């Protein structure tokens, strides 16, 4: 089986998902993810030129709700679930970098 995904790819994906992985895990996941991609390659081998992409497995469209208010949650209950809160807001650690 040709290498479908490199160790560098695995490390990059892990970084994007903010996952800490060891060298051993990278090798393990590269092999496992490679097997998944191998399976996907079977589909890629088919001629799908005339087949529209599937956005959703169910043949359903336009699931909509009326623009009507529903009760929100109690603020104290919500903030009590957070690791830290301050001044009626969620307190988060110092942010490095700008919003996307």
Partner 1 sequence: MSGGWETVVGLEVHAELRTVTKLFCGCRNEFGAEPNTLVCPVCLGLPGSLPVLNRMAVELAMRVGLALHCEVRPSVFHRKNYFYPDMPKDYQISQYDEPINVGGWLELPDGHRVGIVRAHLEEDTGKITHVGGGGRIHEAAHSLVDYNRAGVPLLEIVSEPDLRSGEQARAYVAELRAILVATGASDGKMEEGSLRVDANVSVRPEGASEYGTRCEIKNLNSLRSLGRAIDHEAARQIELLEAGERIRMETRHWNEAAGHTVSGRTKEQSEDYRYFPEPDLVPVAPDDDWLAAVSASLPVLPAERRDRLAEAAGVAAGDVAVLVEMGLDDLVLGAIGAGADPRVAVNRAANEVAANLEAAAKLTVGAFAELVRMEAAGELTATQAKQVLAAMLESGGKPADIARARGFEALAADALTPVVEQVVADNPDAFERFKAGDPKIQGFLVGQVMKATKGNADGGRVVAELRRLAGLG
Contact residues toward partner 1 (CB under 8 A) are 16, 18, 55-56, 58, 60-73, 75, 78-79, 86-95, 97-100
CB of 94 vs partner 1, minimal distance in Å: 5
- Rounded to whole angstroms, the Cα distance separating 89 from 71 reads 19
The residue (of 2 and 73) whose beta carbon lies closer to partner 1 is 73
Closest contact distance (angstroms) between CB of 38 and partner 1 is 20
- Tokens read off for 95: 């942010």
Q: What whole-number distance in Å separates Cα of residue 78 and Cα of residue 87?
A: 13
Residue for token pair 């009507």: 68
- Minimum CB separation of residue 35 from partner 1 in Å reads 20
Backbone angles phi, psi at 98, to 5 degrees: -100, 165
Task: Report how far residue 15's alpha carbon sits from residue 12's, in angstroms, rounded to the nearest whole number.
Answer: 5
Is 24 or 87 the residue whose CB approaches partner 1 more closely?
Answer: 87
User: Could you tell me the smallest distance in angstroms from the CB atom of residue 3 to partner 1?
Assistant: 21
State which residue, 39 or 75, has the beta carbon closest to partner 1. 75
Q: Which is nearer to partner 1, 24 or 69 (CB)?
A: 69
Distance CA(84)–CA(53), nearest Å, equals 43
């Amino acid at each position: 089986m040709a290498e479908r995904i490199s160790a560098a790819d695995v490390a990059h994906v892990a970084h994007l998902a903010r996952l800490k992985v060891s060298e051993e895990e990278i090798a393990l996941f590269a092999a496992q993810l490679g097997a998944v991609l191998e399976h996907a390659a079977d589909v890629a081998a088919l001629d799908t030129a005339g087949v529209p992409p599937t956005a959703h497995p169910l043949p359903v469209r336009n699931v909509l709700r009326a623009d009507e208010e529903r009760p929100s949650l109690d603020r104290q209950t919500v903030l009590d679930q957070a690791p830290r809160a301050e001044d009626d807001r969620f307190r988060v650690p110092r942010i490095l970098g700008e919003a996307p």
